[in-house]
């Protein structure tokens, strides 16, 4: 069995397809070794301010933008690499409790690295929704994540709540 290194595109398409199927409520099968550690962001309230909302459409759109503009460096699974920051666990730890406008602003000004400033606000908001969703953050409603900086500033990125009791996984 050989792996072909022709183009990263098939991976990206696969990632998008996976996202769509997750949104449709079809949980992808996952093997025991990698039970996704997501049930930890359950509470997305309690840090003084409105809770995060984003729409399923934003997540889907964000996945497309991600595949085209971000996955090349950050990886099809947002895993990053030795020299590239991940957008998973470490990312959430770095950004937890930060106002959302900082993240959106950073993406707008600095990303993608090879063409900063090229993402319109709706794409940036969609990307943020996609990344939060990928990290197990659940939206409290289907209201889209706002694009305006002033409204984003009132929302804080939820902290992962790994210390909360979660069902024990058996080997």
Partner 1 sequence: MKRRDLFAASLAAGIVGATRRGWASVPEASAALGRTALHGTIPRLVPIRAHADQITDIKVCLRPFRPAGPRLEVEHVAGKTVVHNYGHGGSGWSLSWGSAHMAVGHAAATLERKVAVIGCGIIGLTSALTAQRAGFDVTIYTRDLLPHTRSVRANGSWTPDSRIALTQQAGPGFAKTWEQMARYSWQTYRDYLGLPGNPIDFRDNYTLSDTPLDAADHAPEQVDPAKGSFATTGAPQNSAEFAIYASQISDIIPAAELLAGADNPFPVAYARRTPLMIYNFGAYGHLLLSEFYQAGGRIVIREFHSPSDLADLPERVVINCPGYAARDLWNDKSLIPVRGQTSWLPPQPDALYAVEYRGAAMISKSDGVMIQGYDMNGLGEMDGVGNSFEHPDRAEAEKAIAIIGDLFARFQPRNG
Residues that bind partner 1 (CB under 8 A): 1-6, 29-35, 37, 40, 75, 77, 79, 81-83, 86, 88-90, 92-93, 96, 159-160, 162-163, 165-169, 171
Complex with partner 1: residue 45 or 151, whichever CB lies closer? 45
- The Cα–Cα gap between 67 and 1 comes to 26
- Minimum distance of partner 1 from residue 6's CB (angstroms): 7
Complex with partner 1: residue 88 or 146, whichever CB lies closer? 88
Give the three-state DSSP class for 99: strand
- Minimum distance of partner 1 from residue 125's CB (angstroms): 24
- Minimum distance of partner 1 from residue 151's CB (angstroms): 26
Residues 6+ apart with CB under 8 A from 79: 86, 88
Complex with partner 1: residue 117 or 167, whichever CB lies closer? 167
Give the three-state DSSP class for 70: coil
- The Cα–Cα gap between 124 and 109 comes to 10
Looking from the CA of 16 toward its CB, the CA atoms found within 13 Å total 20
For 131, the token pair is: 């990344």
- Minimum distance of partner 1 from residue 144's CB (angstroms): 26
């Amino acid at each position: 069995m050989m792996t072909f290194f022709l183009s990263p595109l098939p991976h990206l398409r696969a990632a998008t397809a996976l996202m769509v199927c997750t949104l449709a409520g079809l949980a992808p099968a996952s093997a025991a070794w990698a039970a996704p550690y997501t049930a930890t962001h359950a509470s997305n309230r309690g840090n003084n301010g409105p809770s995060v909302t984003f729409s399923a459409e934003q997540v889907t759109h964000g996945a497309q933008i991600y595949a085209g503009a971000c996955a090349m460096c950050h990886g099809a699974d947002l895993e990053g690499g030795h020299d590239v920051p991940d957008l998973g666990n470490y990312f959430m730890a770095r950004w937890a409790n930060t106002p959302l406008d900082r993240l959106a602003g950073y993406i707008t000004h600095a990303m993608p690295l090879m063409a900063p400033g090229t993402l319109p606000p709706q794409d940036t908001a969609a990307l943020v929704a996609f990344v939060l969703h990928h990290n197990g953050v659940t939206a409290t409603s289907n209201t889209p994540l706002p694009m305006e900086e002033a409204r984003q500033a009132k929302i804080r990125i939820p902290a992962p709540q790994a210390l909360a009791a979660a069902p024990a996984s058996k080997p």
